[in-house]
Amino acid sequence: MLEHELVFALREIALLGGILGDVELSSSELGGILGISQQTASRRILELEEAGYIQRKPGVKKQLIHVTESGSERIKAEKEKYERIFEMGSRMRFSGTVISGMGEGRYYISQPGYTLHFRSALGFEPYPGTFNMQLNGAELNKLNILRNREGYTIPEFSTGDRTFGSVRFFRAEISGEPCGVVLPLRGHHKGVLEVIAGENMRQKLNLRDGDEARLTVFLDR
């Protein structure tokens, strides 16, 4: 049984008033609402109870079911996923795997031609080093969306030695910590999200190579 089956049943019980108090509900009634058999609906009710999403007690004819605090939280999380879709014009969530960079981030971030822009956009001094997230599979699509959005563009600049290419920059947030995401405008991307922040994010968030990290990028300036 898949999690979204469970959430769908939970939602329908909540919509009947189970979020406010006891709902008198037979398994055949629930089956009718969900478009499944009475037997499957009966099993679904047991699964919802096992998951801690509902509590039930015997009623006069049918059972009385109410949505628990944990069930309510689960529905809220689902609701937020739907809301996130319509926020995608202004913010996007990325999920990726923490990887080690090649130490190049430190070198680039320390270039005043970049640092000054980061500082003015973020409002703090960036820690000299990037936090890197490898995006995988379909998640890479979001990187393409990002590459086509405006963000802050930091123009190309030269030092005595060499030229530094133009990059695109977005404000972001990881576990509530403000940060920024930098995308080189030229060259082939390797599916890595480079994150700059005020502190060493690996230490701050206690993350290691291979851990999953989630980041929200703000698409507006």
57, 61, 82, 100: residue in contact with a copy of itself (rule CB under 8 A): 82
Nearest approach, Cβ of 80 to a copy of itself (angstroms)? 9
Rounded Cα distance, 62 and 45, in Å = 13
Q: Does 133 bind a copy of itself (CB under 8 A)?
A: no
Whose Cβ is closer to a copy of itself: residue 129's or residue 151's? 151
Mapped onto helix, strand or coil, the DSSP state of residue 131 is strand
Burial class of 48 by CB neighbour count within 10 A (0 to 12, 13 to 18, 19+): buried
20 lines the binding site for a copy of itself (CB under 8 A): yes
CB of 147 to a copy of itself, least distance (A): 12
Three-point CA angle 159, 160, 163, nearest 5°? 45
Does position 30 bind a copy of itself by CB under 8 A? yes
* Collapsed DSSP state (helix, strand, coil) of residue 221: coil
Could you say whether residue 84 binds a copy of itself (CB under 8 A)?
A: yes
* CB crowding 177-193: b at 16 or more within 10 Å, else e: eebbbbbeeeeeeeebb
Q: Please state, in angstroms and rounded to a whole number, the distance separating the CA atoms of residues 168 and 181.
A: 8
* Chain center to CA of 193: 14
At closest approach, how far in Å is the CB of 3 from a copy of itself? 8
Binding of residue 2 to a copy of itself (CB under 8 A): yes
Site string for a copy of itself, 161-200 (x = CB under 8 A): ----------------------------------------
CA atoms within 13 A on the CB side of 185: 16
Instruction: Report, in Å, the least distance between residue 24 CB and a copy of itself.
Output: 6
Q: Which of 97, 79, 161, 150 is nearest to 121 (CA)?
A: 150
141 binds a copy of itself (CB under 8 A): yes
83 binding a copy of itself? (CB under 8 A):
yes
Comparison of 9 and 179: residue with beta carbon closer to a copy of itself: 9
* Residues contributing to the site for a copy of itself (CB under 8 A): 2-4, 8, 11, 14-17, 19-21, 23-25, 29-30, 32-33, 35-36, 75-76, 78-79, 81-86, 88-89, 92, 137-142, 144-145, 148
